[in-house]
Amino acid sequence: MPRRRKRDIIIKGFSKLLKEDKLKIVADLMDNQIETIELLKSFWHADHSKQKIFDEFSENTISNFYIPYGVAPNMIVNGHNYLVPLVIEESSVVAAASSSARFWSEHGGFHAEVVDVMKIGQVHFLWKGEKKKFLAVFDKLKHYLKGAASDITANMEARGGGIVNMELIDMTDQIENYFQIKVSFDTVDSMGANFINSCLEEFASALQQFCRNQETFTEEEKECRIIMSILSNYTPQCLVKAWVECDFEELDKMDKDLTGRQFAEKFALAVKIAEVDVYRATTHNKGIFNGVDAVAIATGNDFRAIEAAGHTYAAKNGQYRSLSHVELKDGRFVYSLSIPLAMGTVGGLTSLHPLAKHSLEMLGKPTAKELMMIAASVGLANNFAAIRSLVTKGIQIGHMKMHLMNILNHFQATKEEKDKAVEYFVDHKVSFANVSKFIQEIRVK
Ligand code: MEV
């Protein structure tokens, strides 16, 4: 059968097949079956027990997708010197974080504080009645819901966390009869997604039961229709602030053509632009997430949740803005980042993924709060490196230098050719065309 036609066939029961059989089906849909199988298998871990761990993380695993695991040394946060693990494919991110870390290590290091660690979950439901009638029984309801989830919360409470608050939210002006029970949780060192969702589902059925049992409720009010129960990834109260500061003179060496004060002013203007212009703000914040995500992935945290919260937070006042800010005052450069970071250091992948576990060990087994402060500092470090380049020599020199290896690999350069290229491009502009020309020339010679 022609391959195009084969691709149109719906594959039934794929997830139930053995991995080898899945691989055969996938290969069969490609032009080069043997190479496909060889390629995908070549990335299987040689140690079967290690491979099994990865196979069991997700459904339909047929291979592993490698991303570099690097480290940024000299990251001083609140006086502790961290060697920070970073998982990222973009060539310049680790170099950028490292060079900022090195600079700030001699200028007081990064400072950070956790503002709060609250996480939110919601039970969304329809209820036809007057809010004040619901509020009259709300204290009783809270007690009832807490009791219903007590088996789930006992462990978390023993660790110092649990349910912190419950509110009734009336959204009937937006959707007819739509209310929420909005719950705040403290999940201590865990990200807590499973804990929160389990509590919420328990609350949902208890809420229905509670309504049914209310003698003061009419027959209609006894009916509570649950729509869904789920945590919110928007965590504005799980907030961390990181900052650096120095005298203007300490920035004198940032650029040969600018004094420290001029550099600080130009830098502050670049950040201001990201506060007022949404196009710039998006790229600016992307640079922050280069660092934050790399720490999140290296430590087994959910970087999609972190990104989602961060971008919503950036738009909290109705316009998407920079997450970092600069203040120039009394000859001082004060540069900060406030970012919601729902991170965990226990549970989830943090101990299941051998390298995530190792990353946390490398960081000295931090608490979730410490990890939040480290990740925020790395985000600020990456933002600093990006803005520094942008307002001085431009981003491409550094980027393309780091990208040189990728271009050389594209041309399948040998070790000798790579050595020659690295030497040559120390003082020549790296571009795809220039590298291509250079390789052709040395190959002719
Ligand atoms: C590239 O990954 C990130 C930057 O574009 C960030 C920025 O422009 O601020 C360099």
Residue range 107-128, pLDDT digits in tens: 999 999 999 999 999 999 999 9
Dist. CA 91–CA 400, nearest whole Å: 9
290 lines ligand 1 (CB under 6 A): yes
Q: Other CB atoms closer than 10 Å to residue 51's CB: what's the count?
A: 17
pLDDT value of residue 310: 98
Fold equal for 75-114+241-393 and 119-231:
no
Digit-by-digit pLDDT tens for the chain (445 residues) are: 666 667 788 999 999 999 999 999 999 999 999 999 999 999 999 999 999 999 999 999 999 999 999 999 999 999 999 999 999 999 899 999 999 999 999 999 999 999 999 999 999 999 999 899 999 999 999 999 999 999 999 999 999 999 999 999 999 999 999 999 999 999 999 999 999 999 999 999 999 999 999 999 999 999 999 999 999 999 999 999 999 999 999 999 999 999 999 999 999 999 999 999 999 999 999 999 999 999 999 999 999 999 999 999 999 999 999 999 999 999 999 999 999 999 999 998 999 999 999 999 999 999 999 999 999 999 999 999 999 999 998 887 777 887 899 999 999 999 999 999 999 998 888 999 999 999 999 999 8
Short-list 374, 393, 379, 392, CA closest to 322: 379
Expressed in angstroms and rounded, the spacing between residue 289 Cα and the centre of ligand 1 is 10
Q: With respect to CATH, is domain 75-114+241-393 assigned 3.40.630.30?
A: no
395 lines ligand 1 (CB under 6 A): yes
pLDDT tens digits along 292-332: 999 999 999 999 999 999 999 999 999 999 999 999 999 99
Using most ligand atoms within 8 A of CB, pick from 395, 399, 400 the residue to mutate for ligand 1: 395
Tell me how far the alpha carbon of residue 349 is from its chain's centroid: 14
Active site residue 19: no
Short-list 378, 395, 439, CA closest to 87: 378
Dist. CA 230–CA 124, nearest whole Å: 8
Task: Looking at the CA of residue 395, tell me the nearest atom of ligand 1.
Answer: 10
Task: Looking at the CA of residue 93, tell me the nearest atom of ligand 1.
Answer: 2
pLDDT value of residue 2: 63
Q: Other CB atoms closer than 10 Å to residue 88's CB: what's the count?
A: 21
Active site residue 357: no
Where are the domains positioned within the chain?
6-57, 75-114+241-393, 119-231, 398-444
209-244 burial by CB neighbour count: b if 16+ within 10 A, else e?
ebbeebeebeeebbebebeebebbbbbbebbbbbbb
Expressed in angstroms and rounded, the spacing between residue 244 Cα and the centre of ligand 1 is 19
pLDDT value of residue 4: 60
Amino acid 167 reads E
241 lines ligand 1 (CB under 6 A): no
Dist. CA 396–CA 431, nearest whole Å: 9
280 lines ligand 1 (CB under 6 A): no
Using most ligand atoms within 8 A of CB, pick from 277, 280, 284 the residue to mutate for ligand 1: 284
Q: Which tokens sit at 24?
A: 């055969």
Asked if 381 and 112 touch (Cβ cutoff 8 Å), the reply is no
Dist. CA 298–CA 86, nearest whole Å: 6
What is the CB-side half-sphere exposure of residue 86 using CA atoms within 13 A? Answer: 32
Asked if 84 and 49 touch (Cβ cutoff 8 Å), the reply is no
Residue 233 Cα distances to 38, 102, 228, 240, 307, angstroms: 40, 33, 15, 16, 9
222 lines ligand 1 (CB under 6 A): no
Using DSSP, state whether 196 is helix, strand or coil. Answer: helix
Active site residue 361: no
Q: Which residues have C-beta within 8 Å of that of residue 6, sequence separation ≥ 6?
A: 28, 29
Active site residue 286: yes
Q: With respect to CATH, is domain 119-231 assigned 3.30.70.420?
A: yes
pLDDT tens digits along 323-381: 999 999 999 999 999 999 999 999 989 999 999 999 999 999 999 999 999 999 999 99
φ, ψ (nearest 5 deg) of residue 187: -105, 20
284 lines ligand 1 (CB under 6 A): yes
- C-alpha angle 285-288-291 in degrees, rounded to nearest 5: 150
Nearest CA to ligand 1 atom 6: 287
pLDDT value of residue 190: 95
Count each helix (H run) and each strand (E run) in the chain, helices first.
Answer: 18, 10
Q: Which tokens sit at 424?
A: 């040559």
pLDDT value of residue 1: 62
Dist. CA 333–CA 104, nearest whole Å: 12
Nearest CA to ligand 1 atom 10: 386
388 lines ligand 1 (CB under 6 A): no
Dist. CA 224–CA 212, nearest whole Å: 8
> Hunting for tokens 């069969």 — which residue is that?
28
State the sign of the Cα–Cα–Cα–Cα dihedral 378, 382, 388, 389.
Answer: positive
